[in-house]
């Protein structure tokens, strides 16, 4: 078990839980972020649902089981200092997994509040990732927020899945997030599920599983080109 590192904040020093392949031999990795009221252990159930051999799953834990106190639609300042601390915790988890797995094969994702945090982290730290998975969430900020970020996702696959009647995530925010990630150079897939509750679907999990399987295949192809496993 590792822990989220400094700077000081409410989420620093919390544990990171792991599942799947050991990081030192993993072909790909996923940083999974739990929702409000959930835990790192519970979000790793998602790893069971989209398990792919060769993938390491890492899940940081939020203090008090939530990343910030208010809605993701509230003014950002009203969710401080927890929001900044949460972003730092995600950064620590990403840094941990990228010490063994290249960022191009690291997926950042989450559900609900964790999905919002994943989206906000990748938007603020754009680069080529293995993927971004936003399950029932969107970028953080109140209505009218200008979602313009600098940088380039360089074709990073971005998946946005949500209900058309989600009680917590307005459909307009999903669309605005889609537009923002497209502007950042992401390869965006948006799927809206009619009448779905605030949950995940088999279709979403199948998409994630396929994404991870592709990353593992890419890793295998790179190893073959090198003529062996260089680790």
Q: Tell me, what's the pLDDT at 18?
A: 96
Domain boundaries, the chain: 16-223
Whole-model pTM: value is: 0.93
**pLDDT (tens place) for every residue of the chain, 231 residues total:** 676 665 589 999 999 999 999 999 999 999 999 999 999 999 998 888 889 999 999 999 999 999 999 999 999 999 999 999 999 999 999 999 999 999 999 999 999 999 999 999 999 999 999 999 999 999 999 999 999 899 999 999 999 999 999 999 999 999 999 999 999 999 999 999 999 999 999 999 999 999 999 999 999 877 767 665 544
Give the C-alpha separation, 54 to 163, whole Å.
31
Give the C-alpha separation, 100 to 132, whole Å.
19
CB 110 within 8 A of CB 34: yes
Q: Tell me, what's the pLDDT at 24?
A: 94
Residue 188: partners with Cβ closer than 8 Å, 6 or more residues away: 158, 159, 160, 178, 181, 182
For residue 94, the surrounding DSSP H or E stretch is helix 82-98
In 8-156, DSSP assigns E strands to 15-20, 28-33, 55-60, 106-111, 131-135
CB 138 within 8 A of CB 168: no
Beta-bridge mates of residue 157: 187
Q: Tell me, what's the pLDDT at 230?
A: 46
CATH of 16-223, one of 3.30.70.270, 3.30.1490.20, 3.40.50.620, 3.40.50.1820: 3.40.50.1820
């Amino acid at each position: 078990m590792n822990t989220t590192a400094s700077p000081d904040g409410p989420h620093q020093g919390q544990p990171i839980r792991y599942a799947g392949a050991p990081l030192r031999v993993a072909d790909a990795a996923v940083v999974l972020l739990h929702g409000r009221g959930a835990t790192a252990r519970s979000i790793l159930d998602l790893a069971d649902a989209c398990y792919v051999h060769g993938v390491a799953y890492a899940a940081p834990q939020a203090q008090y089981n939530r990343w910030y106190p208010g809605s993701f639609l509230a003014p950002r300042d009203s969710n401080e200092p927890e929001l900044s601390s949460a972003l730092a915790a995600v950064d620590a988890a990403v840094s941990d997994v990228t010490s063994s797995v290249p960022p191009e094969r690291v997926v950042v994702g989450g559900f609900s509040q964790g999905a919002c945090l994943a989206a906000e982290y990748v938007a603020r730290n754009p680069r080529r990732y293995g993927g971004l998975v936003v399950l029932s969430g969107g970028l953080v900020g109140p209505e009218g927020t200008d979602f313009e970020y600098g940088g380039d996702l360089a074709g990073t696959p971005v998946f946005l899945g949500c209900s058309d009647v989600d009680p917590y995530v307005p459909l307009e925010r999903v669309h605005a997030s889609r537009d923002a990630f497209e502007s950042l150079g992401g390869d965006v897939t948006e799927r809206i599920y009619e009448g779905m509750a605030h949950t995940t679907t088999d279709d979403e999990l199948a998409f994630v599983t396929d994404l991870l399987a592709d990353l593992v295949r890419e890793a295998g192809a790179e190893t073959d080109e090198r003529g062996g496993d260089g680790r």
